[in-house]
Amino acid sequence: MTVDSLQGRHALVTGGGRGIGAAIARRLLAEGASVTLVGRDVQVLERAADELRPLLAEGAVLTAVPADISDADSVSAAFAAAQAKAGPVSVLVNNAGQAHSAPFGKTSLALWQRMLDVNLTGTFLCTQAALPAMTAAGWGRIVNVASTAGLVGYGYVSAYCAAKHGVIGLTRALALETARSGVTVNAVCPGYTETDIVRDAVANIVDKTGRSEAEARAELAARNPQRRLVQPDEVADAVAWLCRPSASAMTGQAIAVAGGEVMTG
């Protein structure tokens, strides 16, 4: 154990069964934390847990808890189950999210609400569930996996952009409220990343434009000055750093992991 490890801490990762969430869980396990994976698909969660279990540090616990993060009762039940197995949550990673594209004029109220429910309300509900134990302990880490869409605008994803901008605003407001509590609140904002969301975007471009899959992927990668897609492990490294004890001065930040696509300062 090192002074900067997460040994003895309990980290809960939403959307932890695949993609960025699974990469974050893997990274936090390597830091010595106990980890709870939360998501809607039980089979996906259990498969991820089986793959991650060999990484468990001595005394750490790995748990998979199904939940719909947009539903308050489901979130409450998930946190109760997680805490019963691994103790109070001291690290929360709000990673679960969905993206769906549509021109603004064809964005239905149902689509608008779904993007807000999953991307913003889910972050709100999970944070409310985790924060009391963190403030009582005088230590906590909340990291919201937002998007470069929370920092700039993208066409044809207005609902998603609005939700992710909301996540950034929530991050900043809560960081101010918790600034003297020992709890930090930050956001990590990936650019186009090698995940199911990007694979769906590629399929949508192919379907709507007739371009090849390679051309569609190149179009998305071209937004990144490095001309590539970000890898989930790169996002996970940024999240893990923000979760460490040594990152106590980092709060209220929205850090782009996007190869220079978005530069803040």
Catalytic residues: 160
Q: Which residues contact 54 (CB under 8 A, 6 or more apart)?
A: none
Q: Count CB-CB contacts under 10 A for residue 221.
A: 17
Amino acid at 190: P
The 10 Å CB-count burial string (b at 16+, else e) for 60-88 is bebbbbbbbbbeeebbeebbebbbeebeb
- The dihedral sign for the CA sequence 133, 136, 137, 140: positive
| Edge-to-edge order in the sheet of strand 10-14 | 62-66, 34-39, 10-14, 91-94, 140-145, 183-190, 254-257
Quick one: which of 177, 154, 156, 151 has its CA closest to 166?
Answer: 151
